Amino acid sequence: MMKPQNLHSIRYLSIAAVLILALGVARSLLAPSEAAGSGSPPLRTVADIPMPGPAVRFDYQSLDQDQGRLYISHMNVDQLVVFDTTTRQVVANLDGFKRVHGVWAVPSLGRVYASSTGEHQVAVLDMKTLKIVARAGPINYPDGIAYAPGANRVFVSDEHGNADAVIDAQTNKLIATIPLGGGAGNTVFDSLSGRILVAVHETSELVAIEPATAKIVGRCPLPGAKEPHGISLDVANRLAFVAGQANNTLVVVDLNTMKVLASHPVGEDPDVLAFDPGLKRLYVSAESGKVTVFRENGRDLVSEGTLSIPHAHTVCVDPKTHLVYFPLENIDGRPLLRIMAPSRTP
């Protein structure tokens, strides 16, 4: 017969084993970042703000830091949402932007440019009146937008037209179309070199354009990035971050040499990227809902972790407050804007 003290020992060991097993199961259910050595995800939720309209797809965002207004493309309902980042209130929900994709605020002009993709045009919005004052086109499939202040020109990714379209910001007229040799990914402005940079899908390149002449002045191969699409820049550190949407890979490009320095895995089908120059944080959002957070370390990136947010394929960061914005199309049947903050800061 088993001695009583042995029975007690076995009972305690059994309870301990169950607790250890339960803890292991719980950890396995956590998001990848939560189960990482840090013990917490790289972002925490600050607020969930209800958005107007039905629970359908959002797209690009653009922040006017001067006025504290965030312009959000509510693509599948043909609306542009204007959000006050100080009061955390929706200021306006504007109609007239059919299948709106890209949006870019230019405070110096008092204008917002939005890709009315369903009408093959770019709509020009007055920031004060929130009225459309002009439309420029035709553009086959207008998507991402950038502004080159020196030339006073707006550059638009014509994704399916395999080109970048050029709009004169003074006349609001389409003045040039630049063939790229493949589908146009995102278009951005490098304020230090004064050039426009465009990702090209089929050729896996980063193309440099001189704004004043609307001519291509350089092509940078992007080995490791298949069908590059999203771009973000660290202008001061002369780095470009470009995401390959077909192979879920982010590459780091030296803007001085136009050479790829490193590559990193990201979520499936990466879309929009956002860089916080103050915290040196890069946010890569993907169609899969996986958000990958990196910290810049010298001339490369270090992973801060990942988190999963349904429909979080578009991201914007406020460099003043370091808050991160994710418009989410369907959370419990309603659209909302999730505002998040870094869980850890340097």
Looking at the predicted structure, is the pLDDT value of residue 164 above 60? yes
Q: Say which residues have a Cβ less than 8 Å from residue 299's Cβ, sequence separation at least 6.
A: 237, 239, 252, 254, 261, 262
Phi, psi of 95 (to 5 degrees): -90, 170
Total-model pTM = 0.89
**What is the arithmetic mean of pLDDT over 77-90?**
98
Q: Higher model confidence: residue 116 or residue 40? A: 116
Q: Give the pLDDT of residue 345.
A: 75
pLDDT band at 36 (very low <50, low <70, confident <90, very high): very low
CA distance 273 to 197: 14
Residue 334: count of CB within 10 angstroms of its CB = 15
Q: Give the pLDDT of residue 11.
A: 40
CA distance 63 to 251: 25
pLDDT in tens, 286-339: 999 999 999 999 999 999 999 999 999 999 999 999 999 999 999 999 999 999
Q: Higher model confidence: residue 5 or residue 192? A: 192
**What is the arithmetic mean of pLDDT over 61-65?**
97
Looking at the predicted structure, is the pLDDT value of residue 93 above 60? yes
Q: What is the DSSP letter of 334?
A: E
Q: Say which residues have a Cβ less than 8 Å from residue 138's Cβ, sequence separation at least 6.
A: 120, 121, 174
Q: Give the pLDDT of residue 151.
A: 98
Q: Give the pLDDT of residue 39.
A: 65
How many whole angstroms from its chain centre is CA 322? 15
Q: Where in the chain are the domains?
A: 32-342
Looking at the predicted structure, is the pLDDT value of residue 77 above 80? yes
Chain-wide mean pLDDT for the chain? 91
CA distance 297 to 281: 10
What does CATH list as the number for 32-342?
2.130.10.10
Looking at the predicted structure, is the pLDDT value of residue 238 above 60? yes
Looking at the predicted structure, is the pLDDT value of residue 29 above 60? no
Q: Higher model confidence: residue 32 or residue 281? A: 281
**What is the arithmetic mean of pLDDT over 132-139?**
98
pLDDT band at 344 (very low <50, low <70, confident <90, very high): confident
